[in-house]
Each structure stands twice: as structure tokens, then as C-alpha cells.
Amino acid sequence: MTSSETHTTPSPSGEGYRHELYPYEGSEEFLQGTLGFIREARDGGEAVVVAVPEEKAALLRAEMPEDDKVRYVETSAVAHHPGRLIEAWQEWIKAHTAEGRPVRGIGESPWGEVRSPAEAEELRYHEWLLNKAFSVGPAWWLLCPYDIAGEGAALERMSRCHPTIRTDGRSETSETYDPQAPFDFSPLSLPYSPYEEFAYSRGDLPALREKIASCAEQLGLEGARLRELHLAATEIAANSIRHGGGQGVLRMWSQEQRLVCEFRDAGFIDDPLVGRSRPTRTQVGGRGLWLAHQLCDLVEIRSTPDEGTTIRLHTGVTY
């Protein structure tokens, strides 16, 4: 890493999103870095939005209570749902930028509570997508604390998602961040065996829903959760028929107390942000994926022009 700017506040108008990783070890270093960041903001007349796990929020509140400049937001509804986080940040930041003041944010995902490798990958992908989601718009500065205890390899991958890294109160350019490089996805895990498979095309949506219901009932998935999965699956399958060559293949299996529904087709999703923000009334496309992110516990998307699109919907099963 090479030294760049120190304690620099982005311009309050126009482009200027700043995305910074803060590696730390333990509660003391967490507080040292985040409190310093908040104090810098307050001294500069900036508002701060704090979105961290509750135990971290409690540590910060004890030192820095909420007031008109520091706001702690509830993250439990979105923390484990990476596909909902960009929309949440858009809403949190909008509340302060409307007041005309510069804004900073502190955002930490619940890495210590990650439920699966798939969730960890999607949380890291969310960090990368933030750079695209806020590349144009009101200027603000997001600090991402990341506990590095025993996570050296993971830190290297996280640094690829952040243009700058904060060390001892100083901001340094991340040598591994490349705004032009595609996200380095880990390969999708293989389907668990045994799995059900169903090829579908136009006119097969009722049969597809019956297949999902049959598999779900064997796992005890019913009621509202099954209806939500049906709606999400119908939207994804309809997209396959409409945009993926008129057909697709559904696979279903049980994995880590979740029912996984995988949809494969020949289409290509060229916008990585599709489905990450609430669709407008006049928007064409994007509603199906947005609904899937709202209704399912986790959504994985892999799409290339050569290999087509794979979408996995994860729905938790309570035994």
C-alpha cells in the first residue's frame, strides 16, 4: 500500500463516494478507529450513520451516544441478506443528504455470525457492488470495519473491494483494488445429492410450482414461507422464459437447513446491480430479482455471456 490522503472529507455535492476498509483486531481497536472516524466527522459538521452488529453498536453508544449528528440504525432485517443492503444504505443516507450536510457511514457485516460460505461470498460481493451503486450521486464516506483475527487471506480479498484502507487514522490507497477488474467469484458449490431436476418452458410454471411444493413439503416448509418461495421462483422462471431462450432447468435440494432452488438458462444479466434497489413505477425489468431478494434468505447469481445465468434461491427450513 502507498500513502495517499489523511483526514480528507469528500466534497458535499456531486460525485465523491469514498469506500474505506478498516482492518482491526478486538474491541479496543474497533473503538479506537470508529470513534476517531466519528469525531472527525463531528468536527467537520458531518452526520454519521452507524450500521454495525448490535454488540458493536452497544460499545459505540457507551462512548458516543446518539444525537442529531450520530444515528444508529437497526440492521437485523438486512444484515444477513446481502441483496437488501444497498437499498438500505440508500435510504439511510438519503435521510441525511436531504438536510444538505455531508455524510459518513460506518458499516460492518456480521462476519462472526455468517451462516454459510455462500452468505460470506455474497456479503463480500455486496462490498464490491457498493462502489458501482454509489459511483454517481451525493458525496459520502463509508468506513467498513473488518476484524482480521485469523483472517489474513480473507483480508486480501476484502481489500480488492475497497479503494482505500484506514490504518492508524490514515487513509492509504489499496494496491489490490482495481475498478476495472470483474469480481472474483468463488465457484458455486456442487448441488447436494440427491436433488430433483425439472426442465421448464412456456406453459410449465404451474407444474414448476407443484414440483417446488412437493419438495418443500418433504422438508416441512409450508404456509407463508412456501408462498413467498413460490412467488420468487415464479418470477425467476418467468425471466428464464422471457429472457433466457424460452426455457430453463430447475434443480432443488436440501442444504444446511435450507431448501435451495437453482435456475439455469441461456440468458445473460449484464447489470450486476439489477434487483438491488426498489424498482420505480416506470422501471422496465428488475422486479423479479428484487422480489427474490426480499422473499428469500439468500440469492446467488452467476451470469456470463458464454455460460448463461444461474440463480440460486435459499429458503430456511425450520424443523
Query: What is the pLDDT tens value at each position of the chain, 319 positions in all?
Result: 333 333 344 333 335 899 999 999 999 999 999 999 999 999 999 999 999 999 999 999 999 999 989 999 999 999 999 999 999 999 999 887 767 778 999 999 999 888 899 999 999 999 999 999 999 888 899 999 999 986 656 889 999 999 999 998 899 999 999 999 999 999 999 999 999 999 999 999 999 999 999 999 999 999 999 999 999 999 999 999 999 999 999 999 999 899 999 999 999 999 999 999 998 877 766 789 999 999 999 999 999 999 999 999 999 987 5
Contact of 283 with 93, CB cutoff 8 Å:
no
The answer to whether position 180 is within a domain reads: no
- Split into its structural domains, the chain has a count of 2
Q: How far, in Å, CA of 133 to CA of 26, rounded?
A: 30
Q: What is the pTM of this model?
A: 0.90
Instruction: Mark whether 159 and 214 lie in a shared domain.
Output: no
Same domain, 78 and 201: no
| 243, 195 Cβ separation under 8 angstroms | no
Strands 247-255 and 196-201: antiparallel
Question: Does residue 297 contact residue 80 with C-beta atoms inside 8 Å?
Answer: yes
Given a contact cutoff of 8 angstroms between Cβ atoms, the answer to whether 133 and 15 are in contact is no
Of the candidates 74, 188, 166, 85, which has an alpha carbon nearest to the alpha carbon of residue 127? 85
In a domain, 58, yes or no: yes
Q: Which of helix, strand or coil describes residue 46?
A: coil
Same domain, 18 and 50: yes
Amino acid 4: pLDDT: 35
Cβ count within 10 A of residue 256 = 14
CATH number at residue 226: 3.30.565.10
Contacts of 112 (CB under 8 A, 6+ apart): 53, 147
Q: Check residue 192 and give its pLDDT.
A: 93
User: 92 and 215: one domain?
Assistant: no
* 254: in domain: yes
54 & 92 share domain: yes
Burial 172-181 (b: 16+ CB within 10 A, else e): bebeebeeee
pLDDT of residue 101: 78
Whether residue 10 is found in the same domain as residue 140: yes
> Which set of grid coordinates corresponds to residue 236?
425467476
Shared domain for 168 and 65, answered yes or no, is: yes
Q: Is residue 141 domain-shared with residue 200, that is, in the same domain?
A: no
Report if residue 305 sits inside a domain. yes
Last residue of a domain, one of 173, 208, 240: 173
Which of 158, 173, 188 marks a domain boundary? 173
Residue 80 lies in a domain: yes
Q: What is the pLDDT of residue 56?
A: 96
As to burial, measured by CB atoms within 10 angstroms (0-12 exposed, 13-18 middle, 19+ buried), residue 279 is: middle
Name 309's bridge partners: 265, 303
Nearest in space to 22 (alpha carbons), one of 115, 100, 108: 108
- Give the amino acid at 311: I
Looking at the structure, do residues 134 and 261 belong to the same domain, yes or no?
no
Domain-ending residue, one of 110, 139, 173: 173
Q: Does 133 fall in a domain? A: yes
Note whether 148 and 10 are same-domain residues. yes
Q: What is the CATH number of the domain that holds 125?
A: 3.40.50.300
Reduced to 3 states (helix: H, G, I; strand: E, B; else coil), residue 253 is strand
Kindly state whether residue 188 falls inside one of the protein's structural domains.
Answer: no
Alpha-carbon distance values, 107 to 50, 78, 130, 248, 264 (Å): 6, 12, 11, 38, 33
| Domain match, 25 and 167 both | yes
Taking alpha carbons only, the member of 294, 276, 284 closest to residue 128 is 276
So what's the pLDDT on residue 98?
66
Is residue 24 located within the same domain as residue 77?
Answer: yes
In a domain, 143, yes or no: yes
Q: What is the pLDDT of residue 237?
A: 97
- The residues, ordered by sequence, that sit 6+ positions from 67 with a Cβ below 8 Å of its Cβ are none
Q: Which of 154, 297, 168, 164 is nearest to 228 (CA)?
A: 297
Give the domain range for residue 139: 2-173
